[in-house]
Amino acid sequence: MSDKVNLGRRQFLSKTSAAIAGIAIAPGMLLFDFVHARPAGEAASGAVRWGMLIDTTQCESGCNECVTACNKENGLPVAKLPTDVQWIRKVELKQVSTGRQVSLPMMCQHCAEPPCVDVCPTKASFKRADGIVLVDKHRCIGCRYCMMACPYKARSFVHEPVLDHDSDMPRGKGTVESCTLCVNRIDRGELPACVEACAKAGHRAILFGDLNDPNSEIHLRIRSVASSQLRADLGLNPGISFVGL
């Protein structure tokens, strides 16, 4: 029994080290820009701004891996009704004149000037120092003004009692919630669940990182590739940008 366990562990180690060697360009240099965990007791820094760059040319139509990963990570039930909770959803767009089709994941755009925060009467909706827009459910009274204010329809209201709680993502009936960019994972130094799932499915359509760090991969990509924000005309400066829209 113990031999089997050890064998499994050894295989795992050799595989992961091979995988790490695969993504290393040179010793000490990695292809991926790993997110670093903040030390315990330190507050989120205003010098950082978390964001995503979604490459719609890499996003496969019909693939739902990011949505499944989000639901699993945050303990969300699979949405069946239009009123059910959705933190991320897949959207298929078609340009009528040309017939060009685009598939992309839609979630909270983590605006620099979030309208949901402006309208919240209890200051439950707030933007953390590192740019993540969150709902403080201790304060949320479930008025749903934020849902009306959001131009991306990114927020959901919890209509049903939550029975099986996730220990990392507290949720409760009567409050509004939306994508948290997997804030608990980011604070641990991990990537958001959807980003990880997309890479695992071999698409790498979602790039996550610090928009303010001039050396981060996302910063370099945004500088070199044409990207656009959704409804940029509203002047909300979302943290999520898209390539190939």
Partner 1 sequence: MNPCNVAWMKQREIRDYRISLRGIQATMLILLLAAVPVWAGSSIAPKLDIGKGGQCVDDPKFMRKNHMKMIVHQRDETMRQGIRGGKFSLAGCVDCHASKKDNSVLGSNEHFCQGCHEFAAVKIDCFECHSSKRKVIAEVSK
Which residues contact partner 1 by CB under 8 A? Answer: 38-44, 75, 126, 128-130, 134, 136-138, 162, 164-167, 170-173, 175, 183, 187
Whichever of 92 and 136 has its CB closer to partner 1, that residue is: 136
Q: Smallest gap, in angstroms, from Cβ of residue 153 to partner 1?
A: 24
Which residues in 37-70 are b (16+ Cβ under 10 Å) and which e?
ebeeeeebeeebbbbbbbbbebbeeebebbbbbb
Q: Smallest gap, in angstroms, from Cβ of residue 106 to partner 1?
A: 25
Q: Smallest gap, in angstroms, from Cβ of residue 40 to partner 1?
A: 3
d(CA 75, CA 85): 11
Q: Smallest gap, in angstroms, from Cβ of residue 39 to partner 1?
A: 8
Q: Smallest gap, in angstroms, from Cβ of residue 75 to partner 1?
A: 8
186, 34 Cβ separation under 8 angstroms:
no
Q: Indicate the residue type of 10.
A: R
Q: Smallest gap, in angstroms, from Cβ of residue 156 to partner 1?
A: 15
Whichever of 115 and 131 has its CB closer to partner 1, that residue is: 131
Q: Smallest gap, in angstroms, from Cβ of residue 174 to partner 1?
A: 9
Q: 193-200 and 65-74 helices cross at what angle (nearest 10)?
A: 140
User: How many residues are there in the chain?
Assistant: 245
Whichever of 75 and 151 has its CB closer to partner 1, that residue is: 75
Whichever of 158 and 207 has its CB closer to partner 1, that residue is: 158
Question: In terms of Cα–Cα distance, which of 141, 136, 177 is closest to 156?
Answer: 177
d(CA 228, CA 168): 33
d(CA 36, CA 49): 13
Whichever of 55 and 210 has its CB closer to partner 1, that residue is: 210
Residue 231: which residues within 8 A CB-CB, separation 6 or more? 151, 152
Whichever of 208 and 242 has its CB closer to partner 1, that residue is: 208
d(CA 156, CA 177): 5
Whichever of 100 and 165 has its CB closer to partner 1, that residue is: 165
Tokens of 203: 């698409």
